[in-house]
C-alpha cells in the first residue's frame, strides 16, 4: 500500500475546516473520512482500518484530549493534533498524551500535507529494525513501548520511550536538540520548540535514573544530550 492509498480520519467540528482538509488530502489520493463530533472515534479507527487521525481538541461532545489519550492506550494509529491552542503547555500535553505532531490554526494546507506524509513515513516499520535494547539495569522494548529499570516496569509516555530508545541507540555519542526534535517529533527547531526536548529529557531523567545504574543522560551544554554508558558498550 502506498502513502496515497492510506485512510485518514479527520475529527473536526468546524465543517468548513474539515472539508478544506478533506479536499487537499483527497487531491493527493488519500481516502478521507470526517467526524464532526468525535463520538466513537476509537471504534471507527479499529473498524475501518484508519492509518492516521487528524484531531481537533475542541469538540462538542467529547474532549480531544480524551480521544488522544484513549487512542494511544488502545491503538498505535498516528495522531496529528490540529488546534487553535497555541500555548507551549498545550503542545507538550499533546505530545505527552501520545500525539505524533501538533499544528496550530490557522495553518497552511500544504504544511499539513507535508506533516501527514512525514508522520505516515515514520509510522512504517522497517523490516529487520531492532526494537529492543538491553543494558545493565535497563531494558527498552520499543515494539511494546515498555521500559524496565532494574527489572521494574517504568511508566513512560510514547514520546519519552522513543526519546530514550533514540539516545540509548547511540551510546556515548552527543545528539543535538535539532536532531532529536526532527527524529522524535518530525519538525525543525524554532523559537520555543527546543524546550519540548528539554522538558521531556527532564521528565525522563526523573523516571529512569536510579542510584547505582551504570548509565545516565548527560547534558552537553549548547549542543544537546548524550546517553553515557559506563559499561562502554557502543
56-95 pLDDT per residue, tens = 998 888 899 999 988 887 887 889 999 988 888 888 888 8
Predicted pLDDT at 35: 93
Query: Domain 3-123 maps to which CATH number in 3.40.50.2300, 3.40.50.300, 3.40.50.11540, 3.40.50.10880?
Result: 3.40.50.2300
Upper half-sphere CA count for residue 112 (Cβ side, 13 Å): 28
**Please, are residues 227 and 205 in contact by the beta-carbon 8 Å criterion?**
no
Mapping DSSP to helix (H, G, I), strand (E, B) and coil, where does residue 62 land? coil
Region 163-175 average pLDDT: 91
pLDDT at 17 over 90: yes
The whole-model pTM stands at: 0.64
Domain boundaries, the chain: 3-123, 132-229
Q: How is domain 132-229 classified at the CATH fold level?
A: Arc Repressor Mutant, subunit A (1.10.10)
Instruction: Say what percent of the chain tops pLDDT 90.
Output: 41
Q: What is the DSSP string of 161-230?
A: HHHHHHHHTSTT-EEEHHHHIIIII-S---TTTHHHHHHHHHHHHHHH--TT-SEEEEEETTTEEEEEET
Upper half-sphere CA count for residue 6 (Cβ side, 13 Å): 22
Res. 3 pLDDT band, cuts 50 70 90: very low
Highest mean pLDDT of the ranges 13-22, 75-84, 118-127: 13-22
Amino acid at each position: 500500500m502506498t502513502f496515497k492509498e492510506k485512510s485518514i480520519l479527520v475529527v473536526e467540528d468546524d465543517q468548513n475546516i474539515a472539508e478544506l482538509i478533506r479536499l487537499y488530502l483527497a487531491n493527493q489520493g488519500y481516502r478521507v473520512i470526517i467526524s464532526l463530533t468525535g463520538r466513537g472515534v476509537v471504534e471507527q479507527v479499529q473498524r475501518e482500518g484508519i492509518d492516521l487521525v487528524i484531531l481537533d481538541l475542541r469538540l462538542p461532545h467529547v474532549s480531544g484530549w480524551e480521544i488522544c489519550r484513549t487512542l494511544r492506550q488502545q491503538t498505535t494509529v498516528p495522531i496529528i493534533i490540529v488546534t487553535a491552542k497555541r500555548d507551549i503547555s498545550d503542545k507538550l500535553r499533546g505530545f505527552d498524551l501520545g500525539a505524533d505532531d501538533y499544528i496550530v490554526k490557522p495553518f497552511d494546507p500544504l504544511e499539513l500535507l507535508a506533516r501527514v506524509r512525514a508522520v505516515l513515513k515514520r509510522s512504517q516499520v522497517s523490516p529487520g529494525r531492532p526494537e529492543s535494547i538491553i543494558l545493565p539495569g535497563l531494558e527498552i522494548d520499543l515494539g511494546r513501548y515498555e521500559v524496565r529499570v532494574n527489572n521494574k516496569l517504568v511508566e513512560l509516555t510514547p514520546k519519552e520511550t522513543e526519546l530514550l530508545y533514540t539516545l540509548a541507540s547511540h551510546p556515548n555519542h552527543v545528539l543535538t536538540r535539532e536532531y532529536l526534535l526532527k527524529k522524535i517529533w518530525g519538525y525543525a527547531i524554532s523559537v520555543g520548540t527546543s524546550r519540548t526536548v528539554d522538558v521531556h529529557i527532564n521528565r525522563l531523567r526523573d523516571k529512569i535514573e536510579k542510584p547505582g545504574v551504570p548509565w545516565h543522560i548527560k547534558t552537553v551544554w549548547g549542543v544537546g544530550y548524550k546517553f553515557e554508558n559506563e559499561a562502554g558498550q557502543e
